[in-house]
Amino acid sequence: MKLEARILDAILNKVLALKPAESFLVIADPPKVELARELADFSHKITDRVLFKIMPELEQNGQEPGPDIAELMLEYDVQFYWTTKSLSHTRARRNAIARGHRVISSPMLTADIANRCIDIDYDVLIELHKKVRPLIMNSREIRITTDLGTDIVTSVHDTHGQSEQILKDKPGTFGNLPMGEIDSGIVRDKSKGTILFDGSFPQIGLLTKPIRVTVESGIGQICPNSEQARQLQEMLAKVGPDAFKLAELGIGTNPNCKITGIVLEDEKVLGTVHFAFGNDLSYNGTNDVPLHLDGVLKKPTIVVDGFLLMKNGELLV
């Protein structure tokens, strides 16, 4: 499947607002070369200053790219990372933003996801974020439950999803495509309870059985009662004890997304939440590990300081 021209146009003109005088960097790894090249080729209609760079596939999400790639990320005005493993939570990406560059990172993006979920009504999304983000940003306590047995109380900081930054047309803006999440850093010492992940995880895909994680002071302990749970345990353990620390709470807001097993899309599904383990430096946290893994929960109920924000996956604002 190829990318529709309207999607390429939406990425470059509507979302990134690429200008003729700006330089544009597209980074891909071997599995994503074909789709990324379509974007790079289309961008020549706007600017001649285009570099298409292929990098080796990384071992895991959040791993730093090589120094040559990190150096390029400091130089180009507008950037798109179309890779298999995520560059979103890397020092190299944060350094690019600090330079004022505009960046989209879309690990595992497929043509199907792009064609369905990118050319949306961004005015509607912006208005939704204007309503929901202040509730999360200014909250003291958030409780999330599901019928499966999730029951966790947490607190957050550094809430992203600013309505004025949904479109990446201002210096130093960053996000994923498809868009659609209000994400925050986790206050670990205020996070306790049980999470039953029933959606998906990167490198695992759709979950065939819920993965139970017990959380104490923001540190997860995985119940290894399935092959996928043991796979998650091994992925985190390979990095070390700090990989088990909760890093992020996110709420999906994109009505066109659906659960497919690709977390880039799954975490954006309206009516879901996700928790991430590992690196939280993107939220001004302190856990500097080379891994960031998001796990998705379906049909949550969210109570924010006693206010019922979502009930069984239905947003109530």
CA separation, residue 210 to residues 194, 195, 311 (Å): 12, 9, 20
Contact assessment for residue 157 and residue 188, using Cβ atoms and an 8 Å cutoff: no
Percent of the chain with pLDDT over 70: 100
Give the closest residue to 223 by CA, choosing from 231, 215, 214. Answer: 214
> What is the pLDDT averaged over residues 142-163?
96
For the cut 90, the answer to whether the pLDDT of residue 24 exceeds it is yes
Question: Residue 177 — pLDDT band, cuts 50, 70, 90?
Answer: very high
> What is the pLDDT averaged over residues 44-67?
97
Give the closest residue to 316 by CA, choosing from 131, 139, 130. Answer: 131
The pTM of the full predicted model, rounded to 2 decimals, is 0.93
For the cut 90, the answer to whether the pLDDT of residue 148 exceeds it is yes
CATH homologous superfamily for the domain 5-117: Thermophilic metalloprotease (M29) (3.40.1830.10)
Residues 193, 195, 196: CA angle, nearest 5 degrees = 145
> What is the pLDDT averaged over residues 126-155?
98
For the cut 90, the answer to whether the pLDDT of residue 1 exceeds it is no
List the chain domain ranges: 5-117, 122-315
pLDDT digits (tens, 9 = 90+) for 256-297: 999 999 999 999 999 999 999 999 999 999 999 999 999 999
pLDDT digits (tens, 9 = 90+) for 75-112: 999 999 999 999 999 999 999 999 999 999 999 999 99
CA separation, residue 148 to residues 121, 140, 202, 249, 299 (Å): 33, 25, 21, 19, 10
Please give the Cα distance from 82 to 98 (Å, whole number).
Answer: 20
Please, which residues have CB within 8 angstroms of residue 211's CB and are 6 or more apart in sequence?
196, 197, 198, 201, 222, 223, 226, 228, 229, 232, 295
- Quick one: pLDDT at residue 97? 97
Whole-number average pLDDT of the chain: 97
For the cut 90, the answer to whether the pLDDT of residue 163 exceeds it is no
Residues 65, 249, 228: CA angle, nearest 5 degrees = 70
Question: Residue 154 — pLDDT band, cuts 50, 70, 90?
Answer: very high
pLDDT digits (tens, 9 = 90+) for 187-242: 999 999 999 999 999 999 999 999 999 999 999 999 999 999 999 999 999 999 99
